[in-house]
Amino acid sequence: MERIKTDILVIGAGSGGLSVAAGAVQMGADVVLLEGQKMGGDCLNFGCVPSKALIASGRAAHGMETAAQYGVASVTPSVDYAAAKDHVHDVIAQIEPVDSQERFEGLGVRVIREFGRFIDDRTVEAGPYRITARRIVIATGSSPLVPPIPGLDAVPFQTNETIFDLRDRPDHLLIVGGGPIGMEMAQAHVRLGCKVTVIEGETALGKDDPEMAAIVLDNLRAEGVEIAEGALASEIRGSDGAIEIETKDGRTFKGSHLLMAVGRKSNTDRLDLDAAGIETTRTGIKVDDRLKTTNSRVYAIGDVAGGMQFTHVAGYHAGIVIRSAVLGLPAKAKTAHIPWATYTDPELAQVGLTEAQARKEHGDRLEIARFHFSHNDRAIAERKTAGLIKVMVVKGRPVGVSIAGHQAGELINLWSLVIANNMKMSQVSAMVSPYPTIGEVNKRAAGAYFSPRLFESDKVKAVVRFVQRWLP
C-alpha cells in the first residue's frame, strides 16, 4: 500500500471540492483529491447543468407553440426527445474539461480515482493508498433520496441521476415530489410533449413564499401540468409503461414513467466517520460556523454539511475553507445572503427571510415593498408580466427578498449583494438601470418603499409648499 502525506486532502470532486483543490494548490499547498465516481459531481453530470439544458429545450418548443402573441404564426413543434438529450450531453461535454482530471493534474493536484474512508482522525484509505493530511475536506455531496414506499422496490423509476439518459419520451410522466427538481422537470417535460402529473405529499414549492409559489404553479397548471397536493404516496405498483401510484387519501394516479424527486440525502455511508471522531446529524455531517466537524482537522462543505443544498453554497463554503485551512485566517460561513432559485417559467428566487419569517422575527418593525412585473415596460414587451417582487425591510435595510417572475434568478443577484453588505434601500434607489430592462424591477421595488414617504407625507408636502414660496 502506498503511503502519501499531504497538506490538504479533498474527498469529492464536485463543485465545492474542486474549488478547494484548485484554490489551495495554486496558493502553494500540496493537495490530493479523491473521486470515486465522475469528476464534476452531481451538478455537472446529474443536476444543475443537464436540468438547465433540458429546460432550454422545453423553452424552445414552448416558444414555437406560443409565437402568435408576437405576431408570428404558432406551430406545433416536432420534438425529438432523444435529440434533446443529445443537446443535454453536448452541454455537459463542453463543460467537462473545466472539471477534468487532466486539468487538475495540470494545476498540480494529485487526483486519485477511488472512494475514501477514514481509518483514524487524520488518515484516509482509498484503494491501494493510505493518505495522511494536515487538513481534510469532505465534499462528497448528496444523492437522490428514495423513500421506502411499499412496492417501489419492484417498480422501474427514474431519479435525477438517470432521467437525463432516458432516450424514449414518456407518454405520461408521474413525478413524486413537488420541490424545485420535480417542478423544473415537470415543466420541461410537458413542453416537450409529455403528459405530466406531479404528486406532492404536502404543498408544491412549499419552502418558498406561498404567494410567489402560486404565481409559478398557476402558470404550470395553465401549461398542462397536473399538480396534486396533499397526496402522500402510500403504494406504488405496475411495470415499465404502466405504473400506478395510490395515495393515503385514496386517490390513484396512472402513468407510463415514474420520476422520484422527493429530496436528497448526504453522502456519508462510505466514509467510516466514526473512525475519525466525526459526528453526524439527521441531515448530514455536524459542522460549526467555520465548517469544521467534531474533528478539528476535518471540514465538511456543500450538501454533505446538511444545510442549504445548492452548488453555489458549496462554492461559497470552499472560499471559507481556503481562508481557514490554507491561509490560517479566521472565516465563518453565513446564510443570510445566500440566494436560491427555481428555474421554472416564471422563475422563483429568494434571499434572506420570507415574509412569514420576517414577520415572526421582526414583528411591527417590518415594512414590505412590492412591485408587480405588469408595470415593467420590458416585461410588457416580452409578454412576461406574470410576476411580483417583495422586499422585506427593517429600519431601512432589506432582510429578505422574494421574486417570482421572468429572470428572477438574475434579479436576485443584486439583493444578495445588498444583504451581504448590509446596504440600505436608499443605496438601491440610487442605482440607475438602463431602460427598458427587467432589472428595473429591483429599482422600482426600492421606489415603492420610498413612495409613501415622499408622496403621502403631510410633512413633505408642507416643506415643498414652503420651498416653492421662497424659490426665486
**What share of the chain has pLDDT > 70, as a percent?**
99
Whether the pLDDT of residue 167 is over 80: the answer is yes
Which pLDDT tens digit goes with each residue over 337-386?
Answer: 999 999 999 999 999 999 999 999 999 999 999 999 999 999 999 999 99
Can you point out the beta strands (E) in 292-385?
Answer: 298-300, 339-342, 347-352, 366-372
Relative to beta strand 347-352, strand 2-11 is unpaired
pLDDT for 453 equals: 74
Relative to beta strand 123-126, strand 129-138 is antiparallel
Whether the pLDDT of residue 455 is over 70: the answer is no
Can you point out the beta strands (E) in 365-433?
Answer: 366-372, 388-394, 397-405
Whether the pLDDT of residue 457 is over 80: the answer is no
CB distance 126 to 34 below 8 Å: yes
- Which domains are seen in the chain, by residue range? 2-39+100-144+265-326 (3.50.50.60), 152-263 (3.50.50.60), 339-455 (3.30.390.30)
Would you tell me how many other CB atoms lie within 10 Å of the CB of residue 420? 15
CB distance 133 to 6 below 8 Å: yes
Whether the pLDDT of residue 240 is over 80: the answer is yes
Extract the annotated binding site for NAD(+).
177-184, 200, 263
Extract the annotated binding site.
52, 116, 140-142, 177-184, 200, 263, 303
Q: How far apart are CA 232 and CA 147, in angstroms?
A: 12
Q: How many residues does the chain have?
A: 472
pTM over 0.75? The answer is yes
Which pLDDT tens digit goes with each residue over 382-422?
Answer: 999 999 999 999 999 999 999 999 999 999 999 999 999 99
Average pLDDT over residues 233-256: 96
Distance of CA 240 to the CA centre of its chain: 31
Q: Residue-wise over 426-438: b if at least 16 C-beta within 10 A, else e?
A: eebbeeeeeeeeb
CB distance 227 to 200 below 8 Å: yes
Q: How far apart are CA 269 and CA 176, in angstroms?
A: 25
- 454 pLDDT band, cuts 50/70/90, is low
Would you tell me how many other CB atoms lie within 10 Å of the CB of residue 195? 16
| DSSP-derived 3-state class of residue 332 | coil
Average pLDDT over residues 61-81: 97
Extract the annotated binding site for FAD.
52, 116, 140-142, 303
Q: Residue-wise over 175-194: b if at least 16 C-beta within 10 A, else e?
A: bbbbbbbbbbbbbbbbbbbb
| DSSP-derived 3-state class of residue 267 | coil
Going by C-alpha positions, the residue among 22, 11, 16, 6 that lies closest to residue 320 is 16
SS (H, E, C) 218-236: HHHHHCCCEEECCCCEEEE
Going by the DSSP 8-state scheme, the letter that residue 120 receives in this structure is E
